Amino acid sequence: MKIAQWTRKASFGFLFLVIALVAFTSHLDSIIDRFPVMAQIMRVSDDHLNETTTKALETFAALRIINATISVLKESKVDAAPAGVGLSIAAGEALQPIEDLIEQGSTVMLISSASLGVQKLFIKMGSAFGTGILLGTALLIFTIALFRRNIGDIDLRRIGYFLLALSLVIKFALPVTECFIKIISDRFLNDEYKKAFSTLENAKSQISEIGVEAEKDDNSGFVASIKGAYNSASKVLDIREKVSNFKDKLFGLTEYLIAIIVIFIMQTIILPIFFLLILLWFVRFAFRPKPL
C-alpha cells in the first residue's frame, strides 16, 4: 500500500517537474497561446486596449486645445464708456468653472492613458512571469509538498496553491477582464462616448476660431466686434448677448465633459478593479487547499 502511494506521488512529482521545466523555458506560454480561445481572448483584449488608449489621447488633445483657447480669451478685456458710464468686461471672466472642469478632464485622460499603459505592460509580463516563473515555482513546491507537506511551520501546499492562483491571475485575469470591459463598453458606453466626443470636437473647432480672432489686433476680430458694439449705448444689449452666447456655448459642454470623464473612469479604473477582484476571488475559491 505504501509502495503504491509512493509510486503515485513519484509519478505526480515527475509530471510536475516536467511541466515546471517547460514553464521556465517559456514554451508552456507558447503552447497556451496556440489554443484558439486564448488567441481570441488576447487579440480582443489587445485591440480594446489600443482603441481605448487612442480615444483617451484624442480626448486629452481636444481638451488641452479648448483649455488653451479659454486661457487666451480670459486675457481679452474690453473697456468702453457707453452713455458716459465706464464699463469693463473680461470676455472670459466667467469661464473659470468650465476651465477647471476641462483641466480635471485632461487629468482624468492622462491618468486613464497611464492606467491603460500599465495594463498593457502587465499583460506582457503575464507571459514571462505568470505562466513562467510563478507557475514553475508553484509546481516545484507542489513536488516537494508531495513528500513533505510542512517545513517547520510553513505549509508548502498552501504556498503552492497561492502561487498557482497568482500565476493564473497574472496570465489570464487582465486579458479576460478586458474582454468583459469591451462587452460592457460596446453595449453601454461607446454610443455615449461618440456623441460626447463629436460635440467636443465641434466645440473645439468653434472655440479655436474665436480664440484666433481674440489674438488679433484691436481693430479686427472678436475684441474689435465687442468694442464696436460698446461704442454705442444702443448696442449694449448686443454685446451682452454676444458674451452670453459665447459662455452658453462653453457651459453647454459641461454635460458631455462629465459624460466623458465618467466613461473613462469606468473603463480604465472601476471596471478593471471590479472584474479583477471577482476573478481573484473565483481563482482563490477554486484552488483553495483541500484535505486529502
pLDDT tens profile 254-270 = 888 899 999 999 999 99
Q: Nearest Cα to 222, choosing from 69, 49, 106, 120?
A: 69
Residues 6 or more apart whose Cβ sits within 8 Å of residue 130 = 166, 167, 168, 169, 170, 171, 172
What ranges in the chain are assigned the alpha helix state H? 2-24, 27-33, 36-74, 96-125, 135-147, 156-168, 174-184, 190-214, 221-230, 236-251, 254-265, 271-286
Q: If you average pLDDT over each of 65-79, 104-118, 138-152, 164-178, which comes out highest?
A: 104-118
> If pLDDT is split at 50, 70 and 90, which confidence band does 245 have?
low
* pLDDT (0 to 100) of residue 78: 47
Q: Nearest Cα to 118, choosing from 53, 167, 70, 60?
A: 53
When pLDDT is averaged across residues 209-218 and rounded to a whole number, the result is 53
> If pLDDT is split at 50, 70 and 90, which confidence band does 48 have?
very high
The C-alpha atoms of residue 246 and residue 91 are separated, in whole angstroms, by 9
The yes-or-no verdict on residue 151 having pLDDT over 60 is yes
Tens digit of each residue's pLDDT (9 = 90 or more) over 106-150: 999 999 999 999 988 888 887 777 777 888 888 888 888 888 877
The yes-or-no verdict on residue 86 having pLDDT over 50 is no
Work out the number of other CB atoms within 10 angstroms of the CB of residue 72: 17
Nine cell digits for residue 215: 489674438
* pLDDT (0 to 100) of residue 14: 79
* pLDDT (0 to 100) of residue 108: 93
3-state helix, strand, coil in the chain (%, to 5): 85, 5, 10
Average pLDDT, the chain: 76
Between 7 and 232, the more confident residue is 7
Nine cell digits for residue 213: 480672432
> If pLDDT is split at 50, 70 and 90, which confidence band does 181 have?
very high
The torsion angles phi and psi of 215, rounded to 5 degrees, stand at -85, -5
Task: Enumerate the domain spans of the chain.
Answer: 36-124+173-285
Nine cell digits for residue 280: 481573484
* pLDDT (0 to 100) of residue 83: 44
> If pLDDT is split at 50, 70 and 90, which confidence band does 230 have?
very low
Residue type, 224: A
Task: Quote the DSSP letter at residue 75.
Answer: T
